[in-house]
Structure 1
Amino acid sequence: MNLTELAARYEDKPAIVMAASGDTLTYRQLEERSNQVAHLFRARGLVAGDHIAILMENQLDVFPVVWAAQRTGLLYTPVNWHLSDDEAAYIVENCGAKLLIHSASLASLAVAAEKASPALDSRLVVGESEDGTERLQDALAGLPVDCVDGQVEGYYMFYSSGTTGRPKGIVPELTGEPFGTGMSIDHLMGSAFGFGPDTVYLSPGPLYHAAPLGWTIGTVRNGGTAIVMEKFDAQVTLQLVDRFAVTHAQFVPTMFVRMLKLPDDVRSRFDVSSFRLLVHAAAPCPVEVKERMIEWFGPKLVEFYSGSEGTGFFMIDTPSWLTHRGSVGKAVRGVVHICDDEGKELAPGEVGTVWFSDTNRFEYHGDPVKTADAFNDQGWSTLGDLGHIDEEGYLYLSARRSDLILSGGVNIYPQEIEDALTLHPSVLDVAVIGLPDDEMGQRVHAVIEPAADAVPGPALEAELIAYARDHLAHYKAPRSISFEEVPRLPSGKILRRELMARPRIVTTVAH
């Protein structure tokens, strides 16, 4: 798993290919360019344990920087470039980055981050500089392409998605192990997911998220080729699978829905038989959506449930899922406990907070209160999810605790309602929230992003509510619907706090 050894073995084999542009880094080029960046880091005084921030779109230039940080023991934080100036600046300042590398197109975000970050020693731009900022390509001129001395493994430090407040930096443990040791996910990809030298991995997500970047790195660690999409598009995804004979890919459920809603003639146009494994994670997948994907692609879906915190890891393949529909699997790492609000462990089938024991401890950077809230007095940790286990130990998730709707004293789980509505032909996307209600405390409200050919209005609202009542208990069906865009992170998670903050006037449909 040492890039130097891989480059010697594979030479001109593509390590990274950008899907739209076709820009490619071979193993040899990735080795040499990342070595140059590593020498730059050392020349700028960065030592193992220091922190850098990366503010770039999905582009080839990300990878030499990432691999240089990985081989010099640095912590590195890819910053979500969809954030506002204030939000991006918060992450760069909060992580304590000493160096910021950004693409020219994101200069305004970078300037805002620089102004807010007293620890930042310098800023480098990839591409042309319009404000006199030093260009990365100029800084690298003449630097050696061989390895720096004393290479040790670095680690990415991601920030939680911030769906309920400020993002939280999740501090990983720097082991000090020699470069080439690899991270745990690199080894798991090989042993549990079948990654190897013949793998062609399609990465459709943004590289500022843990899975797209981590699994792309892991593909290279295992000797494969990663095809990186600049942005997700359902039809382009199928074209790429056909063109590159993709063997592995990782999706979020909203991507599945977009592919399933393509016209039949489009879906049948492309050969997707090269697929060996479709991995999905990051957000709950509606049962019907997964069933239809299995019908389409065969028993090739593998789901995992974990978090950037690295606590607990659950996995389930297609045969197991078909006998445990809706489950995210059994624990591969850690031991699961379902507890009530008093901390009492619950029996199989009872819904409570999901806790993990026998996992590594983590911390939220600079926030001891949030860190303490994630652990109980037994040292177990939680991501804040609700769920239950069955008699065989399979885990089923219900909701985030913060998403739960309490109506008339009854717990209502938004995911269940979203699952019921998501494949309706008039629905492009859906999110369910609880709105204040004088009588019930909260009432169920559905935000519907209508399909292109749908006509939003009272008739469609009545149709969708009736549809929900046909598929759910009546008390779970929405009592009101608004037609508006559903805000999601590229990871597929719904930004419910943004939905709750939107002003809206809605009528209530009587049950």
Structure 2
Amino acid sequence: MDAGLSPFEQGLDKNTANYAALSPLSFLARAADVFPEKIAIVHGNQRTDYRTFYRRSRQLASSLSKLGIGKNDTVSVMLSNVPPMLEAHYGVPMTKAVLHSMNTRLDAAVIAFQLDHADCKVLITDREYAPVMKEALSIATVNPVVIDYSDPEFPQDGERLGTLDYEDFVQSGDPGFDWSLPDDEWDAITLNYTSGTTGNPKGVVYHHRGAYLLAQANVITASMAKHPVYLWTLPMFHCNGWCFPWSISIVAGTHVCLRWVRPQSMWDLIADESVTHLCGAPIIMSTLLNAPAEQKRDLEREVEFFTAAAPPPESVLAAMKTAGFNVTHLYGLTEVYGPAVVNDWKSDWDALPLEQQAQKKARQGVRYVALEDLKVLDPETLDPVPADGTTLGEVMFRGNVVMKGYLKNPDATSDAFQGGWFHSGDLGVMHPDGYIQLKDRSKDIIISGGENISSIEVEDVLYKHPAVQAAAVVARPDEKWGETPCAFVELAAGSDITEAELIAFCREHMANFKAPRTVVFCELPKTSTGKIQKFALREQAKQL
């Protein structure tokens, strides 16, 4: 024995008996072993049990492997909340490749950039998105193998872009495909792109360890008992559905797929499938509450609803409670696997006056159990700000559910991790009880319907119009969407253009959901150095 080593270090090494890399892939394997006949996926009239879910995921992995897909290869998917998206969350990483889920609302230019930047080898795409994907592929430099998905429950007539059909591709795979856990739990599992505040979006890389831990933390945070029924209103392309595609397998729950977010479909599925949990942006609450009376259903039990983005107003929370939903506010970013902060409600707050309860609910909250540390720090000194609820600082994260970094962008990665913390760019305060509350976004990101919109990106489009001399875009509060882009524009001398014409111009040059909903023509407020005072515009937007 080495006399220089502690007894706790001698002969106590890692081996196959006492160590395995953490990976969420193990959750599905266990669910299939223990609850093979439990319904895992509901999609239209389809019912898929865990035995079949696991088999099909292995077949997908097998077929991808036959194409030569392996470690660190990128498989991109353009899919809505349909069964193949769930299968991809297991089948792709079973080959040790990286899953790249694309936002189905993006325009062709951004999609092409992502395909190229990710070095896409295989693309699985729904025929619903054939027009935009065809254009994107014509722009992109990469030439991936294209696999078309035809939804048997909700047929789409978009043209086929490849030579392979998804169902045939899966069926050609080996149901006994011998997959293994990652060589290292730090290996990449997925790639998600931010909206990008300047220039092109950044590719956020997740690892198996973080996905495993955040998936478990979701179950704890949501107080999920065994066999929950989860309705997919949150897009799975968004931070891998906040890791819930993996969370539900932990408790052998049921995924209820939802191809399109429609009030009638949501109410019917919630009632008919006995849904217990769902996640979504404030727009989902508005859609449910504003549905015609004849579409609403009486619910047998209270449904847990988890929302992010701007905290909903007290009137909405009260209406949701009456409708049968208990709303919990979460906060996070793409860089921390989705939600990593929760407004953990304390029972003694129920006795507070409603106004004080609303103040409590407006706060983002405390760290997830899987997050090691959450602080509001001075961005220059990294000293904690006073916990007085008024001193502004930057919200920073530290722990296992922080991204590996930005793909092919060491400078941005270094900046994000400066001083040993992940810098969120969000400004907030720390309250005396340790709960944080956001006050502003230093990145000027607008969160509309749960989607991040870069104000700078919208401004860049506005500046392309010859009539625009100066432009600034800020968030305008919106009861339905949470926030919408509001543009303040100074026109060039002699120019004449209407609000509708300028909005139409923006829609021609970017994804429609990013275009401003409101345009105000005015002289922009500026500092003595000529910098536009966005804080003044934000206040003005609130009054519109």
Cα deviation, 1:360-416, whole Å, max 9, x if unaligned, reads 46311122232233233x2222221111111111111122113399xxxxxxx977x
Distance, in Å, in 1 between the alignment partners of 2:516 and 2:47 is 40
Counterpart secondary structure, 1:166 = coil
Match of 2:408? 366
1:93 deviation in Å?
1.1
Distance, in Å, in 2 between the alignment partners of 1:358 and 1:10 is 33
Distance, in Å, in 2 between the alignment partners of 1:313 and 1:149 is 30
Distance, in Å, in 2 between the alignment partners of 1:132 and 1:394 is 51
What is the identity, as a one-letter code, of the residue corresponding to 1:60? P
Aligned residues: 437
Match of 1:260? 289
Distance, in Å, in 2 between the alignment partners of 1:271 and 1:486 is 42
Match of 2:117? 94
Match of 1:215? 244
Q: Higher relative CO (CA 8 A, sep ≥ 6), structure 1 or 2?
A: 2
Match of 1:107? 130
> After superposition, where does 1:401-480 map in structure 2 within 5 Å?
401-403=442-444, 418=477, 422=479, 431=484, 433=486, 435=488
Going from structure 1 to structure 2, the CA distance change for 1:62 and 1:434 (only over 3 Å counts) comes to closer
Cα deviation, 1:431-479, whole Å, max 9, x if unaligned, reads 36473689xxxxxxxx9x9xxxxxxxxxxxxxxxxxxxxxxxxxxxxxx
Distance, in Å, in 1 between the alignment partners of 2:179 and 2:483 is 52
Going from structure 1 to structure 2, the CA distance change for 1:98 and 1:318 (only over 3 Å counts) comes to same
Residue 35 of structure 2 is aligned to residue 10 of structure 1:
yes
Is the 8 Å Cα contact of residues 155 and 174 (structure 1) preserved in structure 2?
yes
One of 421, 437, 450 as aligned partner of 1:380: 421
Match of 2:529? none
Is the 8 Å Cα contact of residues 25 and 60 (structure 1) preserved in structure 2?
no
> After superposition, where does 1:227-376 map in structure 2 within 5 Å?
227-262=256-291, 265-266=293-294, 269-281=296-308, 283-293=309-319, 295-296=321-322, 300-310=326-336, 313-319=340-346, 322=357, 324-332=360-368, 333-340=371-378, 342-343=380-381, 345-347=384-386, 348=388, 349-358=390-399, 360=402, 362-376=404-418
Match of 1:457? none
Distance, in Å, in 2 between the alignment partners of 1:485 and 1:195 is 46
What is the identity, as a one-letter code, of the residue corresponding to 2:283? T
Cα deviation, 1:481-502, whole Å, max 9, x if unaligned, reads x999999xxxxx984xx439x8
1:68 deviation in Å?
0.7
Is the 8 Å Cα contact of residues 38 and 71 (structure 1) preserved in structure 2?
yes
1:326 deviation in Å?
0.9
Counterpart secondary structure, 1:219 = helix
Match of 2:195? 161
TM-score norm. by structure 1 comes to 0.74
Counterpart secondary structure, 2:302 = coil
Counterpart secondary structure, 1:499 = coil
Distance, in Å, in 1 between the alignment partners of 2:70 and 2:246 is 22
Distance, in Å, in 2 between the alignment partners of 1:140 and 1:273 is 38
What is the identity, as a one-letter code, of the residue corresponding to 1:370? A
Residue 167 of structure 2 is aligned to residue 137 of structure 1:
yes
Distance, in Å, in 1 between the alignment partners of 2:374 and 2:180 is 39
Going from structure 1 to structure 2, the CA distance change for 1:203 and 1:485 (only over 3 Å counts) comes to farther
Is the 8 Å Cα contact of residues 241 and 274 (structure 1) preserved in structure 2?
no
Distance, in Å, in 1 between the alignment partners of 2:144 and 2:399 is 39
What is the identity, as a one-letter code, of the residue corresponding to 1:44? L
Distance, in Å, in 2 between the alignment partners of 1:99 and 1:132 is 11
Distance, in Å, in 2 between the alignment partners of 1:370 and 1:80 is 22
1:9 deviation in Å?
2.9
Distance, in Å, in 2 between the alignment partners of 1:202 and 1:485 is 36
Counterpart secondary structure, 2:278 = strand
What is the identity, as a one-letter code, of the residue corresponding to 2:385? L
Is the 8 Å Cα contact of residues 386 and 400 (structure 1) preserved in structure 2?
yes
Distance, in Å, in 2 between the alignment partners of 1:250 and 1:57 is 15
Going from structure 1 to structure 2, the CA distance change for 1:142 and 1:296 (only over 3 Å counts) comes to same
Cα deviation, 1:189-211, whole Å, max 9, x if unaligned, reads 33232234320111113221125
Distance, in Å, in 2 between the alignment partners of 1:143 and 1:402 is 45
1:90 deviation in Å?
0.9
- Once the two structures are aligned, what percentage of the paired residues are identical? 20
1:248 deviation in Å?
0.9
One of 57, 67, 83 as aligned partner of 2:90: 67
Match of 1:225? 254
1:87 deviation in Å?
1.1
Is the 8 Å Cα contact of residues 354 and 386 (structure 1) preserved in structure 2?
yes
Match of 2:436? 395
Is the 8 Å Cα contact of residues 300 and 318 (structure 1) preserved in structure 2?
no
Counterpart secondary structure, 1:314 = strand
Match of 1:83? 106
Cα deviation, 1:107-133, whole Å, max 9, x if unaligned, reads 344444445555545222223974662
> After superposition, where does 1:169-208 map in structure 2 within 5 Å?
169-174=203-208, 183-208=212-237
CA RMSD in angstroms comes to 3.9
**Structure 1 segments of 4+ aligned residues over 6 angstroms from their partners:** 482-487, 506-511
Distance, in Å, in 2 between the alignment partners of 1:361 and 1:217 is 17
